[in-house]
Structure 1
Amino acid sequence: MRKLLAAATAGLTVLTVAAPQPAAARGRPDTYVVSHDPGVLPEGIAVAPDGTMYVTSVATGAVYRGHVRQRTLRPFLPGGADGRRSAAGVHLDRRGRLFVAGWDTGTLFVHAPDGTLLARRTAPGAALNDLVVTADAVHVTDSATGTIWRAGLHGEEVGELVPWLTPAGFPAAPGFLNGIVATADGRIALVADQGTGVPGTERLWRVDLRTGTVGEVAVAGGQLGADGLLLTGDRLHGVVNFPDGHGGWSFAVNLAILDADRRTARVVRQSRPAGLAQSPTTIARDGGRLLWVNSQLNAPAPRPPFTVTEVPGLR
């Protein structure tokens, strides 16, 4: 779920580069149609190792499914089913289970690969935005209260959601928690905070998932107060927004390089920008390319088709 930042970051000191089409992506569409229905407003995306793609609708709670080699997605989980009236972040675990953050429903939904509801866990008063799944837990960002919720994973069992890290545990109270990722060993999480809308309040937090200790990542060369995050080794991608210098807003993906301990980040590249009519939110990787969701959440008049496209000029 997107929050527009008021930070004056139009003059980002990063390099915008044009990336060639990766060989692995040849023969695949560069645009995917999520839905031709009005008012869908897609938000989250996950791509499985076999190329299956899942996209959520924050407006209806529907989850759409397709494949990276096919241009059109189909409804997989209908909006409103199981009380899922809204859906934001979506991720898969190693068992192929689908974890869906239910935004202002305050609910985490867990589905089997065939769509069967396996678990529904509630976080009262929360706006569950994004999530990350590790070997022993799922952690979910709450944009309404600045809390990170946690549910333990024990085999096939999904524990109850508990307020694992509250605003008091941060060096400064979060403004709008959003994207979250974890290192491959599941020991460190990076959490994007889009701030309060006041310039300079966006943050990137480093959270020790063993102790709950939080520190701020020192970010140079640009901002990482992102919506969607994607972490691959020491490379962190984040979907950011910033004033376009003409009274509007631009959206882009920033690429940052992290130090070994994940305490510093240096933004080194930025994709070509998109505008309000597109309003991209989250990202996923498909082989050698990046895909982002064109939510149209901030568009003056959202209209179908609602799509997923390749991130331009970056991989």
Structure 2
Amino acid sequence: MKSEDFESRLKERVSEVENILKKYLPKEEGYAKTVIEAMNYSLLAGGKRLRPIMMMESYRLFAGEDADLKTIEPFMAAMEMIHTYSLVHDDLPAMDNDEYRRGRKTTHAVYGAGMATLAGDGLLNLAFETAIAGSVSDSFDGQKRYLKALKVLATKAGIYGMVGGQCADIVAENRTDIPDEEMKDTLSYIDENKTGALIESSLMIGAILGGADDNAVQAIEKAGSNVGVAFQIQDDILDIVGNQEELGKPIGSDEKNGKSTYVSLYGMEGASSKVKELSDEASEILCNHGFKNTFLDELFQYLIYRKK
């Protein structure tokens, strides 16, 4: 299919996610009004919305004719809240110290570092409030599936997932005493967890709530791992060859913060080759489950060539 057609369908799904997110926004009122304003500012700053889209598409593939988005919506919103909180904290002066995200001022640049920290905390907690609320709604009656999905969401977002990857990322900054081979292993762990964990989680939750068996959930987890690492490598590439206007954030952040990347360790050609290899493997997994040429398959391939 033509890329223009894919872009159009992707925009439709982004709009769908935006509408879902608006359903779960907390009201900006009361003594906590300022932090809620900062949370909503962060959550509505735009972005690719890739994780909830992947969750939605995974759910649709496995649920088939039984697919009812009301089942998955709370988890889609929760996933974007978790992803957004991680970006808010990443941008803080104590972390990457970035002033632009998604084309506008970062949360700490607008509300201050203290309030931005609280906004991230609030989004993380609201994510679980939202996901848990979905279990008691009339549209969901699969309690065992729900609990499995909630466990995946919690684990992949925590110290054995995204937070663990962020920890390793900080520890590795400005380290010139680590041999290249050891740094390659460290970088693999960072990309698998810091970026890959939430993508894995999104695909797994969609599969679980869609009724997939354990083998299928494990397979989609592997596809998510590949896509997550490929996505991060492409991000590293764009941090060098991209431009701020297209990306909506400053380029050169990795070099500024003394971070090792696939580009610095494997070279530009090696990094680009790895992106394609991982993405093709992910598409093969989808093909093995009868999902070849689906929108999710196209989305995986789209990530190879993205420019922002």
Q: TM-score, normalised by structure 2?
A: 0.28
Larger radius of gyration: 2
Q: TM-score, normalised by structure 1?
A: 0.28
**Which has a greater percent of helix?**
2
**Which has a greater percent of strand?**
1
